[in-house]
Amino acid sequence: MNVYYKQHAYYCGIDLHARSMYVCILDGAGTIVYHKNMPSRPEHFLKAIAPFRGDLVVGVECIFCWYWLADLCGREGINFVLGHALYMRAIHGVKTKNDRIDSLKIARLIRGGNFPVAYVYPPRMRASRDLMRRRIHFVRKRAELLGHIQNTAVQYNLPALGSLSRPHQRRDKDIVGHFPDPVVRGIVETDLRMIDQYDPMIRELDQQILTLAKEHDPQSLYLLQSIPGVGEILSLTMLYEIHDISRFPTRGEFCSYARLVKGQKSSAGKSYGTSGARMGNAHLRWAFSQAALLYLRGNKATQKYYNRLISRHGKAKALTIVAKRLGVAVYYMLKRNEPFNEPKFLNHAVVTSPKA
């Protein structure tokens, strides 16, 4: 966990909401010099902090509406830190909770050097990252509809429909006629109409995001696509979720952020398992898991290594180990600006014994 520990003359903690925010400002001695609720508007915020702007740091919890405040502080030259929501919840959980108390707690965490920081994603690529995440959301909704059609056939004990993921596969089959009940046919028709709406929209988003990525960072996109099995979608997901590999000092921190490793819990020399499975980037975790599956296809050398891992750790953990090794490879590829070196990767994977 990274914390903000720099010293300032004033510390501003904000409990931020969509329409209002509670602002608390402490001086260096910890005395409250400003504590007030106000609308979430730039002019109100700038007016409140005007007497303290000489040496001020502003901290806010990472919620959905922090963009405007981070951008405003950036334009105005005000120090801004973003708080990690899960870490903050663990640190300052109290019996009584309201906006006034929360803003004071945030200010005290910053002043005490205990404020857990999250990454402030720069505005230049932020909208594209959100568009990529929205694209993934639409794909999953489309998959739910396809799965519902398949499950409906199972529900009524009808023959399996086979794959329906591609448009031509659906055109080649009388999907609606597969269901004898007219009401059930209406349900399936509804699903198919929704899928037909998702298909062209997803294809359009793919082209739009790929065009943006080639403008933002074409070199990193090329490096990521040099990994066998990693195509446009996985490389775009990795590109926008990682953004800048230099923000991770070590490969361990990168793998932790990508949810490829868990934290160890120990006390008095005894191990109590692991924790922190939800700490990190869920999108990167998905991307590396998919990349590991696709990389294993047709790669006999890696499949032998993977089978050894299964016999030792089980299938789930074996796949996680392969995904972690790909994460380490991506870290060094982007650090050194080098494409994927498969002989080196396979040699390291086969020779190195994985830890239990």
Provide the pLDDT for residue 93: 62
The pLDDT assigned to 91 comes to 65
Could you tell me whether strands 32-39 and 3-4 are parallel, antiparallel, or unpaired per DSSP bridges? unpaired
Band of pLDDT at residue 219, cut at 50, 70 and 90:
very high
* Predicted confidence (pLDDT) per residue in 159-195, tens digit: 999 889 888 888 878 899 999 999 999 999 999 999 9
The per-residue pLDDT for range 291-330, each reduced to its tens digit, is: 999 999 878 888 888 898 899 999 989 999 999 999 999 9
Q: What is the pLDDT of residues 251-287, one digit of tens each?
A: 999 999 999 988 777 777 777 777 767 788 999 999 9
pLDDT given for residue 285 in this prediction = 95
125: nearest Cα among 22, 283, 242, 292 = 242
More confident residue, 91 or 38: 38
Confidence of residue 353 (pLDDT cuts 50, 70, 90): very low
Helix, strand or coil, per DSSP, at residue 93: coil
pLDDT for residue 351: 52
For position 116, what pLDDT does the model report? 92
Burial 247-284 (b: 16+ CB within 10 A, else e): ebeebeebbbbbbbbeeeeeeeeeeeeeebeeebbebb
Look at residue 290 in the predicted model and tell me its pLDDT.
95
Looking at this protein, which amino acid is placed at residue 93? G
pTM: 0.87
Residue 181 CA to residue 186 CA, distance in Å, equals: 9
- Which residues, other chains included, contact 25 with Cβ-Cβ below 8 Å and sequence gap of 6+? 10, 11, 12, 13, 32, 33, 34, 35, 48, 49, 52, 56, 107
- The CATH superfamily of 3-118 is ATPase, nucleotide binding domain (3.30.420.40)
pLDDT score of 321: 92
For the record, the structure tokens of 76 come out as 């105005």
Residues 224-249, mean pLDDT to the nearest whole number: 95
Q: Calculate the average pLDDT of the chain.
A: 91
Residue 90 has a pLDDT of 66
Q: Given this model, what pLDDT does residue 169 score?
A: 84
Domain boundaries, the chain: 3-118, 124-216, 232-260+279-351
Q: What is the pLDDT of residue 356?
A: 38
Between 20 and 97, whose confidence is greater?
A: 20
Whole-angstrom distance, CA of residue 99 vs CA of residue 13:
11
Q: How does pLDDT run across 8-63, given as a tens digit for each residue?
A: 999 999 999 999 999 999 999 999 999 999 999 999 999 999 999 999 999 999 98
- What is the biggest distance separating any 2 CA atoms in the chain, rounded to whole angstroms? 76
